[in-house]
Amino acid sequence: MRTLIFCDFDGTATDQDAQQAIMTHFTGDAWRPINRAWTRGEVTTAHRAAVQWGLVQANTADVQRFVIAAVDFTPGFREFARWCRDQGHALHILSDGFDLYIDPLLAREGLADWPRTVNHLTLDGGEPRFRFQHQDPACDRCGNCKRWVIQRAREAHPGARVVYLGDGVSDLCPAQAADVVLARRALLARCRETGLSCHPFDDFCSVRAVLESL
């Protein structure tokens, strides 16, 4: 059976939320009110992004230098990615975050060519410029609709087993579209609240152990 593994980025592949680290470094706490509104489902990803990134007084190079120095991957991620490749599992980064910081972090780990579906952002030219290429036509809540991407992957690979890894409240929607869920932090709490079956994990050694047991 072909296994498709979709992994959230901020707080899942990385140990801390990279986007929140960027916001705190460059804006202090100014980004938090709009983020709370987004968490409550009151605004879309596109609106949140416009407000938050509009506060950042830095260019692309400034942000990338900071994130490369400040953000760590969750222990075992690089080894897990290579294990997936060796085993023939399709590991795919699936994030509602932005290539501006995701790409340089993956490159730092030697994973620059890894498959990913993310939003696009540049900061040069005086204002942030976004491109949301993977929205569900029926729902504009997220810039990158992870559930929609998973559904398209199922259509392309009938019979494949879909695994989803996530950490946040917004990961519940794509988790509900997966066959196997590995969860930590807020997603783990939401899975338990809603009765969605999941495997808790702290690092990618435990993720590998779960997948090897299936």
Q: What is the pLDDT of residues 37-64, one digit of tens each?
A: 998 989 999 999 999 999 999 999 999 9
181 part of a folded domain: yes
Residue 120, domain member (yes or no): yes
Residue 21 lies in a domain: no
- Asked if residue 43 is part of any domain, the answer here is no
In a domain, 169, yes or no: yes
Mean pLDDT of the chain: 95
Token pair for 176: 């509900």
**3/83 Cα distance (integer angstroms):** 13
Q: Tell me whether residue 41 is in a domain.
A: no
Residue 46 pLDDT: 92
For residue 64, the one-letter residue type is Q
- Identify the domain containing residue 184 by its residue range: 3-15+73-213
pLDDT tens, position by position, 191-201: 999 999 999 99
Asked if residue 119 is part of any domain, the answer here is yes
Residues facing residue 144 across a β-bridge: 134
Instruction: Report the number of distinct structural domains present in the chain.
Output: 1
109 occurs within a structural domain? yes
Helix spans in 95-164 (H): 99-108, 146-156
pTM of the model: 0.95
Tell me the per-residue pLDDT of 74-104, one tens digit each, with 9 for 90 and over: 999 999 999 999 999 999 999 999 999 999 9
60-70 vs 18-27: helix crossing angle, rounded to 10: 120
Give the CATH number, domain containing residue 142: 3.40.50.1000
